[in-house]
Chains A and B, each alone.
Chain A
C-alpha cells in the first residue's frame, strides 16, 4: 500500500497540476476587476501555502521532534533539513509570483509593506538555517543548533499570516481563511483554487520525498566513501 502510494505520487501530482493549468487558463472566467490577471490566484496562494505552512511547518515540527529527547532521531533532522530546502524554493516562488502579480495590479513590483517584508525575512531565515548547517561540522551539534534556529524562526509564520489583519498593508487580505469564515471566491474559481492547493501540496510531498532520499543516499555514500578510503589505506599498509 505504501509502495503504491509512493509510485502514484508523481503521476497524481502531474495530473493535478495539469488539471489546475487547464481549469485556471481555460475553464475559469476572468475576474470582474482584475480580468485575466486574477488567474495568478491559482498559483500564488497555493505556492505561499506550501512555503509558509506545509514546508516550514514540517521543518518546525521535525525540529521539535529532534529537540525532544524521546523522539530525537537522524530521520527528524533529515526531514527538517529537506523541508527547509523545499521551503526556501517555495518562498522564492511566492515572492516572484507575487511580484509578477503586483506589477500590473498594484503598479509596482515590490512594496515594503508588512506582508511582503515579513515574507522576505522568512526567506532570509531559511537561508540562515541552511548556512548554519554548513557552519557546523559535528552532525549532532549541527542538528541541535539548526533545530533551535528553525523553531525560533517559525515565530515569523503567524506574523506573516496575521500581518494583513494587524497592520494596514498594500497586500490584499485573506480570500479563503477569512476572519468570519466567508469565502470571497465562488463557483468554479473556488474549486480551481482548491485543486491548485491540492496540486501544489502533492508537488511538495513529491519534492520532500525526493530531497529526503537524496539526503539518505548522500549520507550512505559518504559513509561508504570513508570505508573505501580506510580499506585503501589498509591495503597500502599491507603492501
Chain B
C-alpha cells in the first residue's frame, strides 16, 4: 500500500531572520567604517598633499618653523656631496632653492636633476638648511629608452 501521509520535515536550521541579517550587516559596516577611518587618519586626512614644493616652503618659511615636513624639489646638478652620515645636496624649484643635509643612504635612483621628496625639518626658525632624515625619489611618468636608437616616437622622431 502506498504511503499517502506526508512525513514531518523538521527544519535543520532556523529560517533566515531579517533582524539577524540586519545586525550582521551593521556589524560589517561598522568594522569597515573603522578600518577606513584608520586608513584615512594615516593617509589622506593629514597628507592630502603628500609634500610641499620648494616654492611653497620658501613662501611659508615662518609658519613652518622647525616642524617636520616633506619637501619636494629637483636635485640641483653638481650639488651632491657624500658625507659621513649621508648626503648633502640642493633642491630647486622654479623660484628658489634649499640646501639639504640628509642622513642615511639615498635610494638607488637618487641623482642630479631628479625630483625628490625629503622628510625632515629646518634646524631653527631662521635656518635656511633643511635636515633630512629620509629621501624618496619621485620619478616622472615618462619612459624613455636608455639606448635612444632603439625607440622611435609615433611621429618618427628618435627619443
| A35 in the interface (beta carbon within 8 A) | yes
| B35 in the interface (beta carbon within 8 A) | yes
Binds B, one of A70-78, A80-88, A130-138: A130-138
| A61 in the interface (beta carbon within 8 A) | no
What is the bound-complex CA distance between A174 and B142, given in angstroms? 9
| A187 in the interface (beta carbon within 8 A) | yes
Binds A, one of B79-87, B91-99, B105-113: B105-113
Residue among B16, B109, B117 making CB contact with A34, cutoff 8 Å: B109
What is the bound-complex CA distance between A35 and B153, given in angstroms? 19
In the complex with contacts A33-B109, A34-B109, A136-B25, A184-B141 CB distance below 8 A: yes
| A167 in the interface (beta carbon within 8 A) | yes
Chain A residues whose CB sits within 8 angstroms of the CB of B126 once the complex forms: none
Residues of A within 8 A of B (CB-CB), count: 61
In the complex with contacts A121-B39, A184-B141, A29-B47 CB distance below 8 A: no
In the complex with contacts A108-B136, A136-B21, A31-B150 CB distance below 8 A: no
**Chain B: which residue is nearest A117 at the CB level?**
B43
Between A and B, 21 residue pairs with Cβ closer than 8 Å are A29-B146, A30-B145, A33-B144, A106-B138, A107-B107, A113-B47, A113-B50, A117-B44, A135-B21, A135-B24, A136-B25, A137-B16, A138-B21, A170-B50, A170-B138, A186-B144, A186-B159, A187-B151, A187-B159, A234-B7, A237-B7
**Chain A residues at the B interface, C-beta cutoff of 8 Å:** 29-35, 37-38, 41, 104-108, 111-114, 116-118, 120-121, 124-125, 127-128, 131-132, 135-138, 141-142, 145, 167-170, 172-175, 178, 183-190, 229-230, 233-234, 236-238
**Chain B residues at the A interface, C-beta cutoff of 8 Å:** 3, 5-9, 12, 16-18, 20-21, 24-25, 27-29, 31-32, 35-36, 39-40, 42-44, 47-51, 53, 72, 106-110, 114, 117, 134-147, 150-154, 159
A117-B44, A170-B136 known; 7 new pairs, CB 8 Å cut-off, are: A105-B109, A120-B39, A125-B36, A141-B21, A185-B143, A186-B159, A187-B153
